[in-house]
A and B are shown apart, each in its own frame.
Chain A
Amino acid sequence: MSGPSSYEPKTAFERWLDVRLPIIRMANDTALDFPTPKNLNYWWTFGGILAVCLVIQIASGVVLAMHYVPNAGLAFDSVEHIMRDVKHGWMIRFIHANGASMFFLAVYIHMARGLYYGSYKAPREVLWILGCVIYLLMMATAFMGYVLPWGQMSYYGAVVITNLFSAFDGVIPGLGTYITTLLWGGFSVDNPTLNRFFSLHYLLPFMIAGVVGLHIWALHVPGNNNPTGVDVKSKSDTVPFHPYYTVKDGFAIVLFFIPFAWFVFFAPEALGHADNYVKANPLATPAHIVPEWYFLPFYAILRSIPDKLMGVLAMFGAIAMLFAVPWLDRSPVRSMRYRPTARWFFAIFIVATIILGWCGGQLPDDVILPIGKSETGAPTGFTVVWLSRILAAYYFAYFGILWFLKNEKTLPVPETISAPVLAEKV
């Protein structure tokens, strides 16, 4: 859809600039006149929402960094200084902390949208993979950001996650130790760790912004997918991005701000953990170390496997599956609207991932279905770790199922994007 440009410079200055740096032309062709399928539903508004989230994180983060002190002895108090003494510091910090959660909420919806409507299928594989790269960078950024306030959860989260890499000693002896020493900048999580995490936490969002640029570039070559999954056939299938989608995305962004603001102003700690208001203390391990909610499904997969190396590989494998899905799903039909079997497996996949997230927040040995009692009187039975195992198995199986659903009996796919609209009207 990167067809001929529709831009016509109107003023003398625009004509002058256009032959030197056609930046207004680029803006016009990507954000104003870009032909966009006219049937995009609200699930498509999350791309714009994500762009806004990134801007919010960078803007609030830059201001936080003006007051924050990346030093193990001072970090906790400097965050409290932001909360107490910096003008509107409490608001900036709560926007940043809850903004990370809202960012992940949006990215999960955005990814689920892509999985359901087959947006990863040809010719959008590169676009999809760039999205997965953004997601990985977001996870790294958020993990390192959570370490910065240097509370108990910050510290022990860093200890648990960095220690995972030591499992690679089982692949090449010394490799895991090398990685952990590099991450720590020493022999344990300490001041050097905090310093490098701060530096990287500042850097990675700008790398995300760069990959977002590529992601949008890769979007604008084939153009948007749409709920029918059918390619755009004629101009009557599309509307110009502006004003049609600027207003629709704009409306969705304002709606998204409502729960966002609710968290920031009325429940700013609801997604956090009380222990992170206790200063990091290497000598007092908290009873229950839990990561932020957006990591919980992967944390559950990690803990469902007793062998550390296998657990780590399974956790990374769960994300690797996303990179591979364009080639695992061989169905010629894009949208699951017309794939009655696949969409049931998809729905179960979403539910399974959500319940995995719940499992990640429980203790592995907590009993869900009590069957008997042990000699101490504690209930025994079906535990969280077993539920996690079943759900993790389904998580991986889903991608295999897609491979085998190649010849699934599909529903009739409309000829054009406009066809189902017209059919409904008759």
Chain B
Amino acid sequence: MLRKALSAAAVLACLTFGGAASAAEHGHTLRPVTFSFDGPFGKFDRGSLQRGYKVYAEVCSSCHGMNLLSYRNLAQKGGPFFDEKYKNPNDNPYAKAIAAAIEVPDIDPDTGDAITRPATPADRFKDPYPNEPAARAGNGGALPPDLSVIAKAREGGAHYIYSLLTGYHEAPAGLTVAPGQYYDEYYKSDLSSAWKGPKDKVPPGGVLAMSFQLTPDRVAFDDGTPSSTDQEAKDVAAFLAWAAEPHAEERKETGLAVMIYLLIFAGITYLSYRRIWKNVAH
């Protein structure tokens, strides 16, 4: 009886903590999408990461930095442009070409003057603004967050980013949206003061200072994939998921080997346990 009660308690514990984890996000359910890297065995799709980088470079990078990444990271093992031939990502021709096309600020070692020079794979991604006030001034007072770990910094990760980027539409009638602000069904902000309708029917979503970015054909993909809003959003979300944890794929691969090892090891220790205890009544 008590045994049953205790196992019921254990199940309850799992349920409540599982529930607590999911109940933490009170918001609107995200748009359904599946990523190749979902789940314990999922892997990144290189093509998608390459397209995603292109979306970042051609669209997002004009407002958002990615300060934790260097151009070399793009060509490291597991990265979008990794090539077996170039074990050292600094030698990878894609990383070199991508970097060389970007001018970064530097100091002339001979004169001490502020100059710009082509980036190298060792340079960090270039920041779009020289400082925070400049970034705010360019975005109606709002600060575009650094995107390096954004996929980990938001509940829902890549799924949230995908929903956010595709979730723009006409604000519901009754909602006042200030100039320079845009309604998005998946963003979270307090809308109650801007809402004219009944107090118990405040619409989901929120308003933010980033406008709709991913119009169809905004980016021309090199592999010929048609660039719909959906495709662009999915690819850039995948790229940001990779950037937030570049070793995630290696982590899962190692994990698989570790699990197999532990299961075999557990079996062997169990058999030794049975053998040693064979003659003890207990």
Report if B194 contacts A (CB, 8 A): no
CB <8 Å contact, B9 and A84? no
Binding site for B on A (CB under 8 A): 38-39, 77, 80, 83-84, 90-91, 94, 239, 243-244, 247-248, 250-251, 254-255, 257-258, 261-262, 264-270, 274-275, 277-278, 288, 290, 293, 343-344, 347, 350-351, 354-355, 357-358, 361-362, 373, 375-378, 418, 421-422, 425
Given A254-B266, A255-B266, A361-B20, A268 and B5 contact (CB-CB distance below 8 Å): no
Taking A84-B68, A258-B259 as given, write out 6 further A-B residue pairs in contact, using a Cβ cutoff of 8 Å, ordered by the A residue number: A80-B149, A90-B245, A244-B277, A255-B266, A257-B262, A262-B259
Closest CB in chain B relative to A76 CB, distance in Å: 9
B251→A265 contact, CB < 8 A: yes
Question: Closest 3 interchain pairs by CB?
Answer: A377-B200, A265-B255, A277-B153
> Please, what's the 1-or-0 string for B134-156, where 1 marks a CB less than 8 Å from any CB in chain A?
00000000000100110011110
| Whole-angstrom CA separation of A38 from B252 in the bound complex | 40
Q: Which of B11-19, B90-98, B107-115, B222-230 has 4 or more CB atoms under 8 Å from chain A?
A: B11-19
Q: Tell whether, in the assembled complex, residue B282 and residue A243 are in contact, meaning their CB atoms are under 8 Å apart.
A: no
* Contacts A77-B68, A80-B148, A288-B24; A274 near B154 (Cβ below 8 A): yes
Q: Which residues of chain B are within 8 angstroms of A90 by Cβ–Cβ distance?
A: 245, 247, 250-251
Question: Cβ of B280 < 8 Å from any Cβ of A?
Answer: yes
Asked if B23 is an interface residue, CB under 8 A from chain A, the answer is yes
Cα separation A347 to B7 with both chains bound (whole Å): 10
Q: Is B32 an interface residue (CB 8 A)?
A: no
Measured CA separation A247–B280 after assembly (Å) = 14
Smallest beta-carbon distance B275→chain A, Å: 9
Decide if B5 touches A347 in the complex (CB within 8 Å): yes
Selected from B13, B19, B149, B254, the residue in CB contact (under 8 A) with A265 is: B254
Fill in one digit per residue for B248-273: 1 if any A CB lies within 8 Å of its CB, else 0.
00111011101100110110011011
Find chain B residues with CB under 8 A from A293 CB.
17, 20
Known: A268-B251, A358-B17. A251 touches B273 (CB 8 A): yes
Inter-chain contact B259/A421, CB cutoff 8 Å: no
For the complex, is B6 an interface residue (Cβ under 8 Å from A)?
A: yes
Residue of B nearest to A275 (CB): B153
Q: Considering only CB atoms, which chain B residue lies closest to A271 in the complex?
A: B21
The residue of chain A having its C-beta at the shortest distance from the C-beta of B21 within the complex is A270
Task: Write 5 A-B pairs (CB below 8 A) sorted by A numbering.
Answer: A244-B277, A268-B251, A347-B5, A358-B17, A361-B23
The residue among A355, A358, A362, A425 with the most chain B CB atoms within 10 A of its own CB is: A358
Interface residues of B in 12-38 (CB under 8 A from A): 12-13, 16-17, 19-21, 23-24
Q: Are B149 and A347 in contact (CB under 8 A)?
A: no
B201 at the interface (CB under 8 A from A): yes
Determine whether the beta carbon of B266 is less than 8 Å from that of A358.
no
Q: A274-B155, A293-B17 are known contacts. Are A83 and B280 too (CB-CB below 8 A)? A: no
Residues of A within 8 A of B149 (CB): 80, 277
- In the complex, what residue of chain A is closest to B5 when comparing beta carbons? A347
Residues of A contacting B6 with CB < 8 Å? 347, 350
Complex: how many Å from CA A357 to CA B17? 8
Chain B nearest CB, measured from A386 CB (Å): 17
Q: Contact check, B152 vs A277: say whether CB atoms are below 8 A apart.
A: yes
Output the least CB separation between B199 and chain A (Å): 4
A402 to chain B, nearest CB (A): 17
Q: A90-B247, A269-B152, A347-B2 known; A357 and B16 CB under 8 Å?
A: yes
CA–CA, A83 and B282, complex, Å: 47
Q: What is the CB-to-nearest-CB distance from B87 to chain A, in angstroms, rounded to a whole number? A: 15
Partner of B2, one of A239, A343, A378: A343
Q: Say if the beta carbon of B40 comes within 8 Å of chain A.
A: yes
Bound-complex Cα distance A265 to B259 (A): 9
Contact B269 A251 (CB under 8 A): yes
Q: In the assembled complex, which residues on chain B have CB atoms less than 8 Å from the CB atom of A347?
A: 2, 5-6, 9
Min distance, Cβ B259 to any Cβ of chain A, angstroms: 6
Q: Which residue of A lies closest to B39 (CB)?
A: A266
Pairwise interchain contact B266-A251, C-beta atoms closer than 8 A: yes
A254 to B273, CA, bound (A): 12
B259, closest chain A residue (CB): A261
